[in-house]
Structure 1
Amino acid sequence: MTELWAAIALLLCMASGFVWWALWRPVPAPQDSNKRQQQTIGLYKTKLAELEQELASATISRSDYDQRLAETQRTLLLETQNKATLNTSRGQSQGGLILVFVALALPVAGLLTYFELGAHSSLEQRVNMQQTRAITQQSESLPQLIEALGVALESQPNNPEGWYLLANSYMQNEQTQQGIAAFEQALSKVQQDSGQHAALLGQYAQALFFNDGDFSSRVNQAIAKALAQDPQDVSALSLLGIQAFEAQNYNAAIGFWQRALPRAGEGQGQSSLQAGIASAQQMLQQSSDPGVSIAVTVNLVNGLQLPASEHAVLFVYAKQAGRPMPLFATKLDPNNLPLNLTLTDAMALQTGSHIGNYQSLDVMAHVALAGVPGRQAGDLVSPSITVLIGNDSKVDLTIDQILK
């Protein structure tokens, strides 16, 4: 990029140099001025001949002749000087000012034309991509790539490709907060009405989802903005499919993921969408034949109150005795306690799991104040109750314990 600007500056200097040379070079006298000068000399010669004739005929004395000759010569000299001065001043005052203006305006006009009509933005983007690609090739590990990109972007922050690569590198390294900040930088460096901006918005929404763990208001807002600019954005449609799947709206999930497929390309993205569609279709089949289920009632023990928490979630899950991982689970709003629900095959955490395949399951309730699975101090839980699986499986759960 530096070599390019040096070449542009050299060419502009050369162009201006021609103008300055035209300004300062000696200007020859115009042709009509030469004619007037010849006429003046002719008149002088005629006047001189008349004086000599008058002197020869004794019409004038020698002293008169000398005096009138001196006056004639003085007149010739003054007229010649005045005409030369007039021609020079006109040429320099009019043509000189124009040339000065042209010499000063030429570089400015050239640069303005280049930025307005030239490929300045495309060239800058190409240079940014080349620099980013070079950093990627030279980095041997993900932490090294993150460090190298950070250093490069400090000196050249107007590089959306670099910020995008840094954001994805942070996300791969599970540094979601830094990834979100890098995505925001990339978004600020591209035009808001461009396809690049829409694609970045979709991936920005994805980063927010990974960080927040659910469909928070800012995740939903980012999805809406991405789809407003590009209704077929793959990342935004994928997130909507996940949201519909979690709500057990499998038809909607299939629709979103099928819309995203044509632009997902080949590879892992396409495979993930196809797997999601297949899973949603299987869930639809299971929901049409619910099979064996477990009716569950959940309530709080008398006198126990829920702590104030905006993120609290009620998890109800069933697992095999002696196994840590649940097989079936659902999450609900604990503020609706007491409540009734039904655990079905549609709530299986592993594809192909069916409640009817087990003789018994341990069922329990857990109010997670942080809104994520996993027991933490302050959470509220019920005892685990073993339920025999049959056509009329029921269980009553009472939340009566606060974890310490």
Structure 2
Amino acid sequence: MTDFWLAAGLLLLVAASFVLLPALRGVGARREQDRTALNVTLYEERVGALREQQEAGILTAEQFSQGEAEAARELLADAENSEQNGVAGRSYGRWALLVSAFAIPVLAMALYWQWGAYDALQLARENQSAPPHSMEEITARLERSVKAQPDSAENWYFLGRSYMAMDRPADAAKAFAEAVRIAGRETELLAQWAQAQYFAGKVFSPEVRALTDEVLQKDPQEVTTLGLLGIAAFEEQRYADAIGFWQRLIDALPPQDPTAEAIAGGIARARERMAEAGETAPEVAKQPVSAGPEVTVQVSLHPSLRDKVAASDSVFVFAKANNGMPMPLAVKRLSVADLPAQVSLSDADAMMPQLKLSGFAEIIVQARISRSGDVKEGQWQGEVAPFSPSKAPVAVTIDRAL
């Protein structure tokens, strides 16, 4: 952070110089000189007027002498007062300027310390220079992040996930509550909040029930909520309900998802418990999973970029939530040779089962060209302003450099 403080100190010195220069140049002294010159001019004009009156016979020689002497006395009196006031004024003025020159940097630092982003800047530098190597270190940095940026829903979300990984569900519930307060009642946030509340007390409370009901009304295939409802039902020995929720969860997962095997093991254990109790396990038919809303995107390349790209360059079309979360919700990959092209994005293209287009009220669609084939190393991009996933087809033109 040395470079930051050097830059800040230089700017403060420049600001202070604007206050100090008038004092160093003696502006007050020049003003007093100008006033003395004016008094002398007025004296000469007054003596000249007395002489004209004497020549016209209005004043006698004795009256002229008295008037001239009085004008001289007044000139001397004004000079003495000016000198005394000037010394006092210059002294006071210089001290005021000097105090201001030192007060400006102090006040600026105090205001920046109160409302600036020094903590966030320091944390960003630390993350770049020394990435965390343990969950404890990650959590500690996220805790610092939410203190530095308390209105970042993304920071609160990842802090909650970190607390869950460290088996601190009560703290995670508070973090997810903050994320919901900032970002709104998105299904993923509500699902994580309900899960944290349940594991904090191992009780399926009315609050947890209300959250899970709200999530399933918005997204009947939300995987976190289905998994939680299955766990709660299993713990309460409602094995048939647990099998139903977990089977729905398996149906909602993408093919070859590694968690499906563990969930199938839970279904098998629930069936064993029902068999031990003399009950018949239900046969759950596999339900087709809805792809949810489908967003049609017309992607094109601005004519000014045609000579700057190659036909083999990769084109990524992806949708992101309009709440600050950086990870894409759905992605399709093309090449420049395919443009212009029409692309459809839906829940079936989700990168993570927990994050789907249907779970967000507003999304942003971006199209990015990458020579290396890495979406993080793009060279040109186009973007569509936030809109609802249910909106009519949208068009995005790749027209600006990254």
For the criterion TM > 0.5, the same-fold answer is: no
TM range (shorter): 0.3 to 0.5
Instruction: Give the number of the structure whose alpha-carbon radius of gyration is greater.
Output: 1
